[in-house]
Amino acid sequence: MTGTIHLSPPDVGPLEESYLIAALRSGWVAPVGPDLDAFEREVATRVGTHGAVAVSSGTAALHLALLGLGVGPGHVVLVPTLTFVATANAVRYTGARPVFVDCDPQTGNVDIALVAELLHRLRSRGERVGAVIPVDMFGSCADYAALLPICAAADVPVVEDAAEALGATHLGRAAGSFGRIGVLSFNGNKIMTTSGGGMLVGDDVALLDRARYLSTQAREPVPHYEHRETGYNYRLSNLLAALGRAQLVRLDGMIDRRRRLRDRYAKLFAPVPGVRLIGAEDTGSNCWLTSIRVDRQRSGWAAADLAAHLAARHIETRPVWKPMHLQPAYADAESRLTGAAERLFAEGLTLPSGSALNERQVTTVFSAIDEFLTARTGAPAA
């Protein structure tokens, strides 16, 4: 690793090493084995769903979820414009067309009222709506108490993109459990990692079985290689599943470290005019990433100014997601916008949030921010 302090580096140690060595010595090094089976069971138990299917990435999981629902050419799928591109790409992989929806300015999650409006409009003009994909932004669940009845009334399935939200809860239920099917990510920067990987979780056994079948090259259950349709090489390896099992043991501790770091950011920025933490009110968040929003008129400085100050000290930050409707790859896509996502992109900044950050690194980050604030206000923030 470099001397840079990163946003969310992998948090691995002796426990992960022991699980990996045990899996390696067992001889199960293929995308099949006891750790893979156990990892699926353990994550399903954690999320509270009947089953799970582990695959090579969260994007692959989204793709399989949509295929399992029969989404394809001729369908439209509602996608938040404020998200990582994988959500939209998975829709295009199926041949369907994404329609982007703006976000709630307070949380960054999808604007529920706009979803209701769009569903009515699309159906009124005869469009076939294949699914709605809410994204649990930065580890905070969307407002499912409001969203699910709207989608149920329209008879449109929900694919919960909980890639960022494993370990989060909403109204006492776990992230990943709200939709017809949920999708998790174990990418290297997520709350827990298998270096790369993802998972489908849900109660619909037939849908999960279909995903498992497609993820293994659609191989028929016969002794020879028999294929009646085109499948995908999406299965997670047993070795990476072993890594995931160790991470799952440590998940609550890693969430706690991120929450304590978020609390420190909240205390630091509380007296600073024009600055607030995005989604800070959500006590069920897993605190995957902590982002601030800066009102330049009140603060006297922009998020980009703080980003440049920290970059000069080898501290990584990142703007909030650039909205999909501003991405050249999706310039021709239909959107229903209020301007909320564009304002979050312009004013938002994500700060180092990882559970692997040691006290020296955290002190460096907070000292650098304090130095920045002191230079602009004449007094330290806290």
At 333-376, the pLDDT tens digits run 999 999 999 999 999 999 999 999 999 999 999 999 999 999 98
Looking at residue 199, its pLDDT comes to 98
Low-confidence residues in the chain, pLDDT < 70: 1-2, 378-382
Q: Which pLDDT tens digit goes with each residue over 76-113?
A: 999 999 999 999 999 999 999 999 999 999 999 999 99
Looking at residue 376, its pLDDT comes to 86
Looking at residue 378, its pLDDT comes to 65
Looking at residue 177, its pLDDT comes to 98
Looking at residue 2, its pLDDT comes to 61
pTM of the model as a whole:
0.96
Looking at residue 382, its pLDDT comes to 53
C-alpha angle with apex 277: 196 to 43, nearest 5 degrees?
Answer: 30
